[in-house]
Chains A and B, each alone.
Chain A
């Protein structure tokens, strides 16, 4: 049996929390510039324990099957004999995989920030926030019940808000932080209602029990819940769909994606950690966590998941081709890759070969965390070097930043799906799963993977080739050891992660799944990827007029894509013109005139009465004596003559 120490398990999330508390309270007074080391060492310890846990978990399967185990389950709020909110830790293949991913990327970001954020005024605060985020994210993936996941879900939202708004003296950062918070909050409302519906139907919040109840056709709860319906759709479907809305908000799926590109206002390492590798995949994780319910009970919702994912993947890829801010390109690419993970879940079935999509989705989540964190950290190094986010200010950097160039190239090849880099294997698995279940989604995904190669290499050539670099008189090199080490380590991950036999460890039903790479099948996606790269090279390797010519040739479409298909403007119109005018203003009028009027009336009425009677308290003793005498006589008269 597994040798898992529960104290050790608890240390994984609580070490980063300790970092948050210590640095939050004493960081600016005591640790100052050393704060980064405190955070990094705690994170390193947490990472090592997570790796140890993963090793213990994956080397102790029961005959190749991985069970869900709940080593800690503490009853926190007890509502009735069956319904209570617990705080627990659940280990299953995906949560174990996630703790490794989260702690690894977080550790890399901690190390990288030692160099990148050096000399920032709020350096200790930054590390405190990183610790809070890591704690929340680990809590989220380890949650043993739906309500606990919701609590940590909101906590990652808050830490994301704090870190996007880290440069709070920049109005755009403040606006972006608010936007991210409000959009995800809006989606979380759906999530909360979904939780209430699902827990009402299942009679529990606990994942294991809930999944058992809602997926066994004989269970009385399931039979009863299937009789509830709203607008002709069963309550369970509503619940699952609302939970998915929460996930879509966090994972920036269309149409709730608008916050992600703006979130790039935060420091670049934060974008790497939160808005590329970990928090934004929480939505995918959530769907995967409840996958049996989606798959068995509400296959309709799973269809929606698939279509939303596929649409977001293609939509974001088109926008990414037109953006010039390198972080925004990466943000849209993140959205596109998360779209891949979503539709991979959407086309997946429950067990055996049918569940290939599930494994592929988790596999892509794993490899994507490596190469996307690497891309962001590389972009951070570039931004650090040229002091600009815009690719117009870059070009010809390959001679100046050789190591960044190399690792960035590796990451680009990985995301473009060129063998033998990590992205190839996971993307191939996803395409394979899509091909077997839904041909239309497969074609969308295929085109998107060509586009992905194109826009990633557009980015790559624009940064490192294109026009020769105009030296701005930078004296500093491409970054210190602290910044280069994570690039190299993640680069190794981006090369090697694909060779992990992922299906052996993670599958929808816990039984190992054999994934083979079908060479014949891979020819088409890989040649599309290569074509994308060649096209990007033709456009951007040397400075020329071809991109402008094509852009003006596609005039209307290019403009629309450049403006992100005006989704932001549509939301602005809906909120400012329609919601404000039709709901906001009448509500404000009602508030000012009716609600406030009633309160003011009570106030002024009291004032008028008191103004009338305050003269009674004159401070004159004899007047008081007179009141007393008159009252005494009146009482005497009352008792003698009237009440006899």
Chain B
């Protein structure tokens, strides 16, 4: 059986919620960053799938995906820099330890 649009959308939805679940439950910032990457990749999958099945003659979705991958890489670099700084200040990368900015 050839995989159709719906199959891929199921996978991407699954990826999205796995990522969201990881983001909300994990306390380790690195893991949370990885969860965010999952969410981004689910979006990438959607772009690719819609591009391939709905407008096969166009390349817009592909380019979007490439951009998102590039930006995600940059974002990961920034995030890791923040995490390193956080570690230097708190000797921990647990998200619950960094809660000074509150009421």
Residues of chain A touching chain B, judged by Cβ–Cβ distance below 8 Å, are: 614-615, 617-622, 625-626, 629
**Subset of 15 A-B contacts with CB under 8 Å:** A614-B103, A615-B103, A617-B103, A618-B99, A618-B102, A618-B103, A619-B98, A619-B100, A619-B102, A619-B103, A620-B95, A621-B95, A622-B32, A625-B24, A629-B24
Q: How far is the CB of A314 from chain B (nearest CB, A)?
A: 76
Q: How far is the CB of A145 from chain B (nearest CB, A)?
A: 61
| Residues of chain A with a CB closer than 8 A to B101's CB | 619
Across the two chains, which residue of chain B brings its CB closest to A613?
A: B103
Q: How far is the CB of A608 from chain B (nearest CB, A)?
A: 15
| Interface-centre pick from B23, B24, B103 (highest chain A CB count, 10 A) | B103
| Residues of chain B with a CB closer than 8 A to A620's CB | 95-96, 99, 102
Does B62 sit within 8 A of A, measured CB to CB?
no
| Residues of chain A with a CB closer than 8 A to B99's CB | 618-620
| Residues of chain B with a CB closer than 8 A to A622's CB | 23-25, 32, 95
CA distance A621 to B24 in the complex (A): 9
CA distance A629 to B39 in the complex (A): 13
Does B76 sit within 8 A of A, measured CB to CB?
no
Q: Mark B60-103, 1 if CB is under 8 A from A, else 0.
A: 00000000000000000000000000000000000110111111
- 19 additional A-B residue pairs with CB within 8 Å, beyond A618-B102, A618-B103, A625-B23: A614-B103, A615-B103, A617-B102, A617-B103, A618-B99, A619-B98, A619-B100, A619-B102, A620-B95, A620-B96, A620-B99, A620-B102, A621-B98, A622-B23, A622-B24, A622-B25, A622-B32, A622-B95, A625-B24
CA distance A621 to B33 in the complex (A): 12
In the complex, the answer to whether A626 meets B24 with C-beta atoms within 8 Å is: yes
| Residues of chain B with a CB closer than 8 A to A629's CB | 20, 24
Residues of chain B touching chain A, judged by Cβ–Cβ distance below 8 Å, are: 20, 23-25, 32, 95-96, 98-103
| Residues of chain B with a CB closer than 8 A to A614's CB | 103
Q: How far is the CB of B86 from chain A (nearest CB, A)?
A: 11
Q: How far is the CB of B19 from chain A (nearest CB, A)?
A: 11
| Residues of chain A with a CB closer than 8 A to B103's CB | 614-615, 617-619
| Residues of chain A with a CB closer than 8 A to B24's CB | 622, 625-626, 629
CA distance A526 to B15 in the complex (A): 121
Decide if the interface of chain A is mainly helix, strand, loop or mixed: helix
Q: How far is the CB of A48 from chain B (nearest CB, A)?
A: 73
CA distance A626 to B25 in the complex (A): 10
CA distance A561 to B74 in the complex (A): 98
CA distance A614 to B100 in the complex (A): 14
CA distance A615 to B102 in the complex (A): 9
CA distance A621 to B101 in the complex (A): 10
Across the two chains, which residue of chain B brings its CB closest to A621?
A: B95
Across the two chains, which residue of chain A brings its CB closest to B100?
A: A619
| Residues of chain A with a CB closer than 8 A to B25's CB | 622
CA distance A619 to B96 in the complex (A): 9
CA distance A618 to B23 in the complex (A): 17
Q: How far is the CB of B83 from chain A (nearest CB, A)?
A: 12
| Residues of chain A with a CB closer than 8 A to B102's CB | 617-620
CA distance A626 to B101 in the complex (A): 17
Across the two chains, which residue of chain B brings its CB closest to A626?
A: B24
Across the two chains, which residue of chain A brings its CB closest to B27?
A: A622
Q: How far is the CB of A193 from chain B (nearest CB, A)?
A: 55
Q: How far is the CB of A574 from chain B (nearest CB, A)?
A: 56
Across the two chains, which residue of chain A brings its CB closest to B36?
A: A625
Across the two chains, which residue of chain B brings its CB closest to A616?
A: B103
| Residues of chain A with a CB closer than 8 A to B98's CB | 619, 621
CA distance A615 to B99 in the complex (A): 13
Q: How far is the CB of A451 from chain B (nearest CB, A)?
A: 80
Across the two chains, which residue of chain B brings its CB closest to A629?
A: B20
Across the two chains, which residue of chain A brings its CB closest to B24?
A: A622
CA distance A622 to B95 in the complex (A): 8
Across the two chains, which residue of chain A brings its CB closest to B103?
A: A614
Q: How far is the CB of A416 from chain B (nearest CB, A)?
A: 83
Q: How far is the CB of A285 from chain B (nearest CB, A)?
A: 67
Across the two chains, which residue of chain A brings its CB closest to B20?
A: A629
Q: How far is the CB of A615 from chain B (nearest CB, A)?
A: 7
| Residues of chain B with a CB closer than 8 A to A619's CB | 98-103
Q: How far is the CB of B15 from chain A (nearest CB, A)?
A: 15
Across the two chains, which residue of chain A brings its CB closest to B29?
A: A621
Across the two chains, which residue of chain A brings its CB closest to B95?
A: A621
| Residues of chain A with a CB closer than 8 A to B96's CB | 620
CA distance A622 to B98 in the complex (A): 11
CA distance A625 to B22 in the complex (A): 12
CA distance A614 to B102 in the complex (A): 9
Across the two chains, which residue of chain B brings its CB closest to A610?
A: B103
| Interface-centre pick from A615, A622, A625, A629 (highest chain B CB count, 10 A) | A622
Q: How far is the CB of A177 from chain B (nearest CB, A)?
A: 51
CA distance A626 to B20 in the complex (A): 9
| Residues of chain B with a CB closer than 8 A to A618's CB | 99, 102-103
| Residues of chain B with a CB closer than 8 A to A625's CB | 23-24
Which 8 A/B pairs are nearest by Cβ-Cβ distance?
A619-B102, A619-B99, A614-B103, A617-B103, A619-B101, A622-B24, A618-B102, A617-B102
| Residues of chain A with a CB closer than 8 A to B20's CB | 629
| Residues of chain A with a CB closer than 8 A to B23's CB | 622, 625
CA distance A629 to B32 in the complex (A): 15
CA distance A618 to B98 in the complex (A): 11
Across the two chains, which residue of chain A brings its CB closest to B101?
A: A619
Across the two chains, which residue of chain A brings its CB closest to B25?
A: A622
| Residues of chain A with a CB closer than 8 A to B100's CB | 619
CA distance A564 to B32 in the complex (A): 91
Q: How far is the CB of B12 from chain A (nearest CB, A)?
A: 16
Q: How far is the CB of B25 from chain A (nearest CB, A)?
A: 8
Q: How far is the CB of B47 from chain A (nearest CB, A)?
A: 19
Across the two chains, which residue of chain B brings its CB closest to A618?
A: B102
CA distance A282 to B50 in the complex (A): 95
| Residues of chain B with a CB closer than 8 A to A621's CB | 95, 98
Q: How far is the CB of A624 from chain B (nearest CB, A)?
A: 10
